[in-house]
């Protein structure tokens, strides 16, 4: 086990009707609020009205930043920063999925910063202050509701980067708010959650038995609830299990003492910076190919993955065979739930392959399980065609 | 899954040499410190000198509260409160195991409280303010380093109660600081950790697949590292795994959305309030008997426990047989690592059995898996003789 420091101050408020806690949060953080949301689904499904009715009852002054994009854009973030400064808001409430929360985090750290908020994403600066942020999550996927990560796309330069920004002070997770998530978004969310675990599971760090089992626990639980939630989108318990897994997959629990990878996320960010495809869809395509490209670095780990997560019977098989069977099972799972499996599914050919490979390694080689250069990335992307 | 609110602000600083973080904590929280510790083992093994050398380098003013007892006493807590007030300390640093930390928590909430600190333990009051508390843990056991629980004994009234007090702001966990823990204390710690998981694992809450797997992950990891650490007390990785399990077993992760039990802890508190036996030893005796007394309430859960944690082969056996085999395996594990298995091992007979049974249910029936009256407790204690 490696040395580590873990600190996660987010208050997680989970379950049916937990939106009622919003009242006490207004009392705690103030009545002058920036409300951040996305394309309007929260209006269609009544959540917007529920939120506004609580805020209005408390006589809040609400400024709105609607229309946050699925890959949230720097221009939108800057609009939010401007609004906060103009209106001198007390705190930010993000209602939506990971993109909305990521954009709100960028706004939260951008407001008290004198420079360009993009500095945090290009690693020119590290956020030191932030406005208070609360979230109401509507999609099981990114884990952004309980971590300090934020991913923003600069559409002018076609760059998509992540940064450490600020933890939400609180996040309200009501599984019922995910009932209306469309099938494809549900699938992408599941791919995203699984991918987060992969990034933290494939490691060379020795002596991490509990971290290993925790990761396997999440993967098994996601797999066993995925088809259930797709069959019945209003299955409260299945939605709750997936939602809870999404948070636990990326709230700092899994990487305690573990060297994590994150190369595949960099590759996906490069792809969706150029093509604006759904993040979860990109990950479902790239991950099995990344696995095939790197598994020999630690076949033992991939063997365990195959046996523990996918129930591969190891008897009479070589390590390589077992590992490859596990990778095939991963790919089959993604396909079974309806995720894309090739870049061609998004009409992406090899036109921009070198460009994407370059964009994936902006600050030098990526990944810890196997260090990848732009040549490696190009090779993996070729396997994805 | 039940609704829940989770919030754990403790910063966990884990690994070799992490005591170096103490310097930044002094800068953050101040130089006027109450140092709380126990019977002097931290002096024998050099930790006291390490801590003092960092504090002296920072020109701290250190007031000491030494001699905290294994079942920390109210009188000691009151001495600590008095010292903090006299010296107007900025914050409290606890160096030791769970008892030392529990006592320090009581001091931390007692200082700003105008009434009697015992009010928090008799449920007459709830703490609203606390002095900042930091800890350096020397024993894998109670999880007190990352929760707000505190157990204190009032020796005059022979009462031992737990209360929710305050989270440590930070806890430094260096597995090397546990190398010198004597064999019996190591064993008690392991019993304590396993018992914490039991209290949160045996439940009727449906649809908690991830929470269930997390609990099983901790139990399996403790079992596989227990004999290893006893065979070689300076095995860094085994010590680290046990230490990490101890924290994760009781930092609020396992009970998210789960109804937990805690009857056995109440019973043990009653026993050690009367006899002052080691908490972990008491738990090792009582838990298997509690299990036998209650398992029929949810034999399915006990069956899963047997198969998943102890590897019991279920084929051709009735649910009862499987469940009982799992309970026998639990008892055998405790015995194998050298824990006591009968009250007689502590020269306890049935003299005070009714008294203890009464003391175990001071606020009415205990437990959620099966509600226990004092008659039930007496029956369980009789099984422990």
- The pLDDT tens digits for B216-229 are 999 999 999 999 99
ipTM of the predicted assembly exceeds 0.95: yes
> What integer pLDDT is reported at residue A365 of this predicted model?
97
Q: Say yes or no: A154 and A205 in one domain.
A: no
Chain A nearest C-alpha distance from B384 (Å): 32
A108 assigned to some structural domain: yes
Q: Say yes or no: A120 and A202 in one domain.
A: no
> What integer pLDDT is reported at residue A95 of this predicted model?
98
Q: Say yes or no: A157 and A209 in one domain.
A: no
Does A9 contact B12 at a Cβ distance shorter than 8 Å? no
**Domain final position from A160, A178, A196:** A178
Q: Say yes or no: B163 and B266 in one domain.
A: no
The number of CA neighbours under 13 Å toward the Cβ of A236 is 11
- b/e burial code for range B145-173 (CB count within 10 A of at least 16 → b): bbbbbbbbbbbeebbbbbbebbbbbbbbb
A2 assigned to some structural domain: no
What average pLDDT does this structure show over B237-266? 98
Does B253 contact A257 at a Cβ distance shorter than 8 Å? no
Tell me the chain A residues in contact with residue B213 when contact means C-beta distances shorter than 8 Å: 213, 216-217, 220-221
Q: Say yes or no: B152 and B204 in one domain.
A: no
> What integer pLDDT is reported at residue A160 of this predicted model?
87
Residues A202-247 have pLDDT tens digits of: 999 999 999 999 999 999 999 999 999 999 999 999 999 999 999 9
What average pLDDT does this structure show over A95-123? 97
Q: Say yes or no: A37 and A162 in one domain.
A: yes
Count of the separate structural domains present in chain A:
2
- What angle do helix axes B319-336 and B299-310 make, rounded to 10 degrees? 50
What average pLDDT does this structure show over A192-196? 98
Please say whether the beta carbons of B201 and B220 come within 8 A: no
Chain A nearest C-alpha distance from B316 (Å): 23
Reported confidence tier of residue B273, pLDDT bands at 50, 70, 90? confident
Reported confidence tier of residue B71, pLDDT bands at 50, 70, 90? confident
A31 assigned to some structural domain: yes
> What integer pLDDT is reported at residue A121 of this predicted model?
97
Domain CATH number, residue B160: 3.40.50.1970
Instruction: Give the percent of chain A with pLDDT over 70.
Output: 100
- b/e burial code for range B298-320 (CB count within 10 A of at least 16 → b): beebbbbbbbbbbebeeeeeeee
| Confidence check: pLDDT of A40 > 90 | no
Which chain A residue lies closest to B215 (C-alpha atoms)? A214
| Confidence check: pLDDT of A276 > 90 | no
> What integer pLDDT is reported at residue B276 of this predicted model?
86
**Domain final position from B140, B159, B178:** B178
B208 assigned to some structural domain: yes
Reported confidence tier of residue A36, pLDDT bands at 50, 70, 90? very high
Please say whether the beta carbons of B74 and B118 come within 8 A: yes
| Confidence check: pLDDT of B239 > 90 | yes
Q: Say yes or no: A70 and A111 in one domain.
A: yes
Q: Say yes or no: B92 and B38 in one domain.
A: yes
B194 assigned to some structural domain: yes
Reported confidence tier of residue B346, pLDDT bands at 50, 70, 90? very high
Q: Say yes or no: A198 and A343 in one domain.
A: yes
Mean of pLDDT over chain A: 97
| Confidence check: pLDDT of B40 > 90 | no
Chain A nearest C-alpha distance from B347 (Å): 37
Tell me the chain B residues in contact with residue A13 when contact means C-beta distances shorter than 8 Å: 5
Query: Vertex A246, ends A241 and A252: CA angle to 5°?
Result: 125
Print the domain residue range for B345: 183-384
> What integer pLDDT is reported at residue B158 of this predicted model?
86
Q: Say yes or no: B198 and B63 in one domain.
A: no
**Domain final position from A150, A178, A206:** A178
Reported confidence tier of residue A158, pLDDT bands at 50, 70, 90? confident
Please say whether the beta carbons of B216 and B309 come within 8 A: yes
Reported confidence tier of residue A273, pLDDT bands at 50, 70, 90? confident
Cα–Cα distance, B116 to A326 (Å, whole number): 60
- Going by C-alpha positions, the residue among B215, B200, B218 that lies closest to residue B4 is B200
Q: Say yes or no: B169 and B204 in one domain.
A: no
Instruction: Give the percent of chain A with pLDDT over 90.
Output: 97
Domain CATH number, residue B353: 1.20.1090.10
Q: Say yes or no: A156 and A235 in one domain.
A: no
| Confidence check: pLDDT of A139 > 90 | yes
- Going by C-alpha positions, the residue among B129, B122, B124 that lies closest to residue B154 is B122
What average pLDDT does this structure show over A57-82? 97
B128 assigned to some structural domain: yes
By a Cβ cutoff of 8 Å, what residues of chain B touch chain A? 1-18, 21, 206-207, 209-210, 213-214, 216-218, 220-221, 224-225, 237, 240-241, 244-245, 248, 253, 256-257
Does A214 contact B209 at a Cβ distance shorter than 8 Å? no
Residues A304-337 have pLDDT tens digits of: 999 999 999 999 999 999 999 999 999 999 999 9
Helical (H) or strand (E) element with A106: helix A98-110
Reported confidence tier of residue B309, pLDDT bands at 50, 70, 90? very high
Cα–Cα distance, A337 to A344 (Å, whole number): 18
Residues A372-384 have pLDDT tens digits of: 999 999 999 999 9
B1 assigned to some structural domain: no
Chain B nearest C-alpha distance from A242 (Å): 9
B6 assigned to some structural domain: no
Mutation pick from B210, B211, B243 vs chain A, by most beta carbons of A within 10 Å, is B210
Reported confidence tier of residue A254, pLDDT bands at 50, 70, 90? very high
Which chain B residue lies closest to A249 (C-alpha atoms)? B210
Residues B355-370 have pLDDT tens digits of: 999 999 988 999 999 9
Residues A166-186 have pLDDT tens digits of: 999 999 999 999 999 999 999
What average pLDDT does this structure show over B201-230? 98
């Amino acid at each position: 086990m490696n040395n580590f420091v873990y600190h996660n101050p987010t208050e997680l408020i989970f379950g049916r009707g937990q939106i009622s806690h919003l009242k006490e949060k207004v009392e705690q953080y103030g009545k002058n609020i920036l409300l951040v949301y996305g394309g309007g689904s929260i209006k269609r499904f009544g959540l917007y009205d529920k939120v506004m009715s609580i805020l209005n009852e408390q006589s809040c002054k609400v400024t709105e930043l609607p229309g946050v994009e699925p890959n949230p854009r720097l221009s939108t973030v800057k609009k939010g920063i401007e609004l906060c400064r103009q209106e001198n808001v007390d705190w930010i409430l993000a209602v939506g999925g990971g993109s909305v929360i990521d954009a709100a985090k960028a706004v939260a750290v951008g407001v008290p910063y004198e420079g360009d908020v993009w500095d945090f994403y290009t690693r020119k600066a590290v956020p030191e202050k932030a406005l208070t942020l609360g979230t109401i999550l509507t999609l099981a996927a990114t884990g952004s509701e309980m971590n300090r990560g934020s991913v923003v796309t600069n559409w002018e330069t076609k760059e998509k980067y992540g940064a450490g920004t600020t933890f939400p002070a609180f996040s309200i997770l009501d599984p019922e708010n995910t009932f209306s998530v469309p099938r494809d978004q549900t699938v992408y969310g599941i791919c995203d959650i699984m991918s987060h675990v992969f990034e933290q599971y494939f490691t060379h760090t020795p002596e991490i038995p509990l971290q290993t089992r925790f990761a396997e626990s999440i993967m098994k639980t996601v797999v066993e609830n995925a088809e259930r939630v797709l069959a019945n989108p209003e299955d409260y318990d299945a939605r709750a299990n997936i939602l809870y897994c999404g948070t636990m997959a990326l709230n700092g629990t899994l990487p305690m003492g573990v060297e994590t990878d994150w190369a595949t996320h960099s590759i996906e960010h490069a792809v969706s910076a150029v093509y604006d495809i759904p993040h979860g869809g990109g990950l479902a395509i790239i991950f099995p190919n990344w696995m095939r490209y790197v598994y020999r670095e630690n076949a033992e780990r991939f063997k365990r993955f195959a046996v523990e997560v996918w129930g591969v019977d190891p008897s009479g098989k070589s390590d390589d065979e077992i590992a490859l069977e596990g990778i095939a099972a991963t790919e089959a799972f993604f396909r079974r739930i309806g995720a894309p499996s090739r870049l061609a599914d998004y009409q992406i050919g090899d036109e921009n392959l070198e460009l994407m490979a370059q964009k994936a390694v902006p600050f030098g080689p990526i990944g810890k399980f196997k260090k990848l250069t732009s040549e490696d990335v190009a090779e993996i992307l070729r396997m994805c065609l």
